[in-house]
Structure 1
Amino acid sequence: MTSSPGAAGRSVLEGAFGLLEAVERAGEAGLTRLAAECGLPKSTAHRLLEQLAELGAVERHRGGYRMGPQMYRLGHRWQPNPGLRSAARRPMHELAELTGAAVGICVLWKGQALVLEWVPGKGAGPAVVARRGTTWPWRAAAGKVLMATAGPVTLPCPPPRSWAREAAGIRARGAAFDREELVPGVCCAAVPLPGRPGRAPLTSLCVVTDPAHRLERIADAAARTAQVIGNGLRGR
């Protein structure tokens, strides 16, 4: 019994994406390691990797493979809402100027908060190094506010028993806080960015600062900025 062309196509795609994920995890790796991680014969892995290299999805380097420029270019163009980056660019910079803190936009991805946009802070606060593609645990404020407002989300591990009470408080306040819970000296306030009418928010706006700042005031400023971004997405 032979497999259908559709099944064969899915198998090839699954193998190619499996290799891309293995390259992303390793940063750079050789054929033997990548084939073993994906459970593929070396000949199949080599053929797929060479095809991916021709497309620019990976590149050959020192006898191995690493992520290619085409994947970087395509990945950085992704956004959950059309026009999000153009609507958010100026308001994010204005919020960073107002607070002196770093400002980011995040989305939940595989149980983590994934940074889509980032504006470094200009004040004397903590030097948080982040960029597009940086991931934080979902317990960061940027992840908690989406967990509380975006509905059921699959997490790598069950949330603590106190989460239901904390989530209710986040929904009531409209903001989530991280008071040095993840990194000493680093605090964060995050609010949801408005999504389509009647739908749960897909992204959050976060402000990363130090313990000297009042997070409640920063959350209020972030909420006003989120409203400006939402108006921009709706063409207002």
Structure 2
Amino acid sequence: MCAAQRDEAGLTASRLAAILTAFRPGDDVLGVSELARRTGMPKSSAHRLIGHLAEQGLLERDEGAVRLGFKLFEIGQLAIRQRGLVDAARPYLADLREATRNTVHLAVLEGTEVVYLDIMRGPDAPDLPSRIGGRFPAHATAVGKAMLAHSPGEVLETVISAGLRRVGPRTLTAPGLLRRQLTKIHDEGIAYEREESGAGVLCVASPLFDHSGRARAAISISGWCNRVRAERVAPAVRTTALTLSRTLP
């Protein structure tokens, strides 16, 4: 394949990805015009690419509009289950939720964001914006900071270079302050987030390590700041993370 062909293939792949990722939480169906607007493509190009995606089952047509196809769900489930992380973690997450009655998260770090692989809602916890498959800025979450504290330096530099966007009332937006906090998290194995992701929310997280010592994921407990005592739930989170880490390949 010549250089021009490689460039064209890369452009096509980028445009296909742009259409699939144009769907946002709450979107059921989208029309061609809206997808063209969100992706910045000419309507004719969007229409052609949508046709290719529909042929492969990645999009489904619905009276002149399209929705994400079921094949995407199958691929996503396969990607998660190939790693076995969700299945391995679920019993531990369930025990943690039962013990604390708060919401428990399992997340991985991808670029400058965390991606939530599993969430178990607690009856005493606030209504959080997190969702399975959803993303959130890593610097504004306890799970994100737990993983950043054990990541190579270039990973943190990428996060800082992207800008420490304010998400909640107390989001860390100063690089120096974030660095100091991550050093403490690295030493203690526990990350805290107090109203950094949202008003009134407290999170406590700890990383999961694989056999090589890499921080593969993190788990957290999320609850109300005025109800959850961080020093009481932190040992449970840390113990669960260490126990679960021993089961990871």
Please indicate the TM-score interval, normalised by the length of the shorter structure: 0.7 to 0.9
**What per-residue deviation string (whole Å, max 9, x for no partner) do you get for residues 13-34 of structure 1?**
2221122122348934322343
Structure 2 CA distance for aligned equivalents of residues 39 and 126 of structure 1? 37
Q: Which amino acid aligns with 1:203?
A: A
| 2:211–2:248 Cα contact (<8 Å) kept | no
- Root-mean-square deviation (CA, aligned residues, Å) is 2.6
Unaligned runs of 5+ residues in structure 1 are none
Q: 1:189 — aligned with what? A: 204
| 1:177–1:189 Cα contact (<8 Å) kept | yes
- Where does 1:81-100 land on structure 2 (aligned, <5 Å)? 82-100=83-101
**What per-residue deviation string (whole Å, max 9, x for no partner) do you get for residues 32-79 of structure 1?**
343354454433322220121122212223422232222123224323
Structure 2 CA distance for aligned equivalents of residues 77 and 58 of structure 1? 18
Deviation at 1:209, TM superposition (A): 1.7
Q: In structure 2, do the counterparts of structure 1 residues 25 and 8 end up closer, same or farther at CA, with 3 Å as the change threshold?
A: farther
Q: Which amino acid aligns with 1:17?
A: A
- Where does 1:21-32 land on structure 2 (aligned, <5 Å)? 21-24=21-24, 27=27, 28-32=29-33
| 2:31–2:64 Cα contact (<8 Å) kept | yes
Q: 1:53 — aligned with what? A: 54
Structure 2 CA distance for aligned equivalents of residues 77 and 61 of structure 1? 26
Q: In structure 2, do the counterparts of structure 1 residues 42 and 26 end up closer, same or farther at CA, with 3 Å as the change threshold?
A: farther
**What per-residue deviation string (whole Å, max 9, x for no partner) do you get for residues 177-225 of structure 1?**
1123332332110000112314x31311111122322212312111111
Deviation at 1:135, TM superposition (A): 2.5
TM value normalised by structure 1: 0.85
- Where does 1:43-122 land on structure 2 (aligned, <5 Å)? 43-79=44-80, 82-122=83-123
**3-state SS of paired residue (1:11):** helix
Deviation at 1:134, TM superposition (A): 2.6
Deviation at 1:97, TM superposition (A): 1.0
Unaligned runs of 5+ residues in structure 2 are 165-172
Q: Which amino acid aligns with 1:15?
A: R
Q: Paired residues, what number?
A: 231
Structure 2 CA distance for aligned equivalents of residues 106 and 49 of structure 1? 31
Structure 2 CA distance for aligned equivalents of residues 10 and 137 of structure 1? 27
| 2:105–2:220 Cα contact (<8 Å) kept | yes
- Where does 1:139-154 land on structure 2 (aligned, <5 Å)? 139-151=140-152, 152-153=154-155, 154=158
User: Is 2:220 the partner of 1:206?
Assistant: yes
| 2:102–2:223 Cα contact (<8 Å) kept | yes
Q: 1:19 — aligned with what? A: 19
| 1:24–1:67 Cα contact (<8 Å) kept | no
**What per-residue deviation string (whole Å, max 9, x for no partner) do you get for residues 94-128 of structure 1?**
11111111111111234222211111114x33243
Deviation at 1:93, TM superposition (A): 0.6
Q: In structure 2, do the counterparts of structure 1 residues 179 and 191 end up closer, same or farther at CA, with 3 Å as the change threshold?
A: same
Identity fraction in percent: 29
Q: In structure 2, do the counterparts of structure 1 residues 25 and 16 end up closer, same or farther at CA, with 3 Å as the change threshold?
A: farther
User: Is 2:30 the partner of 1:34?
Assistant: no
